[in-house]
Amino acid sequence: MRIKTSQLLLLLTPSSVLLVALLILPLSAVALVSLTDWQFGASTLNWVGMNNYLNLWRDPVFRQSMANTLLYLFIVTSGSLLIGLGTALLIEADNSLRGFYRSAYFLPAASTLIAMAIVWQFLLHPSIGLVNQTLTSLGLAPRNWLQDGQTALYALAAIGIWQMAGLAMVLFMAGLKGIPKDLYHAGALDGIEHPWERFTRITWPLLGPTTLFVVTICAIRALQVFDTVHALTQGGPNKQTEVLLHTIYSEGFSFFRMGYASAMTVVFVFAIFVITQVQHAAMERRTHYK
C-alpha cells in the first residue's frame, strides 16, 4: 500500500515542528546574537558583524580554553577507548561474574557526574585524600592535584576517563557479540591461534564500525566537559583547566556578554559538526571489514 504525499507530510509534521522549535530556531537565534554586542539584561543592542569572532582569536583566555579542551579531548577519548576495549575483551573472555563486572564498570557512566565530582574532590584532597594518603604510605610526595597547574587538567582527564570508559566498554561488548564465532574457528584452521594474532587479524578489523562510533561519542562528550571543571577547579589555577563550555558559561552568565558567548557557542557547535562529518566520511569509506 502506497502512502500519499499528503499523508507522508502529515506524519512528518510533529517531528518537523519539534526539529524547528528545539534545534533550528535556537541555533539561528544564537547565530544572530553572536553578530551583536548584546549584554544580558540590556534593552538595546548593536550590530557588530564578525567582530566577536575576530576577537575570539585575539583572546588569550579563549585560546587557552581551546587548547585545554583539545588536550582533554585527546586524553579522555584515547584513554576511554583503550580501557573500554581492554575491559570488554577481558569480560567476554571470562564467563564467571560477567554480569557483576558489566554493572560495576558501567556504574560511573550512569552516575550523576556532579555528585561524583564531589567524591573525587575528597579523594584528591591534598592532605586527607585517599590518593595522597596512598602516595605517602609508599614513600612518595603528595600533590595538590586540583590546584597544581601541572596536574590539574590531567586529574580532570582521569575523572573523565573513569566516567566514560564504562560506556565504551558496553559498546565494545555489543560489537564483540556481533562477531561470528565461526570466523575464529576458520582462523584456527588457517593457523591463527595466538590470542594477539586473533585480535589483530579478526577481532580488531571487525570492530571498525564500533570503534569509530565509540571515538565519536567519547569525543563529543569530552568536548561537553563542564561539570567537573565547574565543581572542582572553576577553570583554575591560572586558567590551566579552563575549557570551552566553562568559558562560554563565564562570559554569558558571569560577565553577561551574551553576544561574545554566542560566538563561542557557534564555534563549539561547529566543532561537534566537524566531528560528526568526519564520522560520516569514515563510514562512507567502508570501515566494515570485507
- Reported as a single tens digit per residue, the pLDDT across 95-114 is 666 777 777 777 777 777 77
- Tell whether 14 is covered by a domain: no
- Tell whether 91 is covered by a domain: yes
Percent of the chain with pLDDT over 90: 41
- Tell whether 22 is covered by a domain: no
Q: Measuring CA to CA, which residue among 176, 175, 208, 169 is closest to residue 88?
A: 169
* Distance separating alpha carbons of residues 276 and 290, to the nearest angstrom: 24
CATH number of 241's domain: 1.10.3720.10
Q: Which three cell numbers stand for residue 185?
A: 574457528
DSSP string, 111-169: S-HHHHHHHHHHHT-TTT-HHHHHHHHTTPPP--TTT-TTTHHHHHHHHHHHHHHHHHH
- Tell whether 32 is covered by a domain: yes
- Tell whether 7 is covered by a domain: no
Q: Which three cell numbers stand for residue 108?
A: 560511573
- Tell whether 150 is covered by a domain: yes
- Tell whether 11 is covered by a domain: no
Count of structural domains within the chain: 1
pLDDT in tens, 245-284: 999 999 999 899 999 999 999 999 998 888 878 877 776 6
Confidence at 193, pLDDT banded by 50, 70, 90: confident
* Distance separating alpha carbons of residues 148 and 56, to the nearest angstrom: 27
The mean per-residue pLDDT over the stretch 121-144 comes to: 90
Cis status, amide bond into 237, omega within 30 of 0:
yes
Q: Which three cell numbers stand for residue 98?
A: 560477567
The mean per-residue pLDDT over the stretch 144-155 comes to: 92
Residue with cell 557483576: 100
Q: In the prediction, which pLDDT does 59 show?
A: 92
- The pTM of this model reads 0.89
Domain range holding 80?
27-284
Q: Could you give the 3-state DSSP secondary structure of residue 268?
A: helix
* Distance separating alpha carbons of residues 210 and 216, to the nearest angstrom: 10
pLDDT in tens, 18-38: 988 988 999 999 999 999 998
Residues 223, 227, 232, 238, Cα dihedral to 10°? 40
User: Residue type for 288, please?
Assistant: H
Q: What are phi and psi of 36, to 5 degrees?
A: -125, 175
* Distance separating alpha carbons of residues 205 and 201, to the nearest angstrom: 7
- Tell whether 216 is covered by a domain: yes
What is the DSSP-derived secondary structure letter of residue 43?
Answer: S
